[in-house]
């Protein structure tokens, strides 16, 4: 199997925005989640954090499954 590279980029600016993006093997960057500050940031953050953790954990699980196969 050829080597694969998954990049995960987090960018944020306090009181403005948060964004999680991913890139596989030098392809286009794909947005996983993006949130602009709209006075609901603190209310929504728990869901955003959970979504980011789920994406990361599923990615790591998929890598592990491929490596064990």
Q: What is the pLDDT of residues 9-66, one digit of tens each?
A: 999 998 899 999 999 999 999 999 999 988 888 899 999 999 999 999 999 999 999 9
48, part of any domain: yes
Give the range of the structural domain holding residue 11, as residue numbers without chain letter. 6-68
User: How far, in Å, CA of 16 to CA of 59, rounded?
Assistant: 28
Closest CA to 14 of 39, 47, 37, 46: 37
Give me the number of domains the chain comprises: 1
49, part of any domain: yes
Tokens in use for 52? 């980011």
pTM: 0.85
1, part of any domain: no
Query: For residue 19, how many other CB atoms are within 10 A of its CB?
Result: 16
């Amino acid at each position: 199997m050829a080597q694969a590279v998954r990049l995960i980029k987090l960018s944020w600016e306090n009181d403005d925005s948060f964004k999680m993006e991913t890139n596989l093997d030098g392809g286009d960057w794909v947005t996983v989640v993006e949130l602009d500050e709209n006075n609901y940031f603190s209310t929504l953050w728990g869901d955003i954090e959970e979504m980011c953790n789920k994406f990361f954990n599923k990615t790591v699980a998929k890598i592990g499954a491929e490596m064990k196969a």
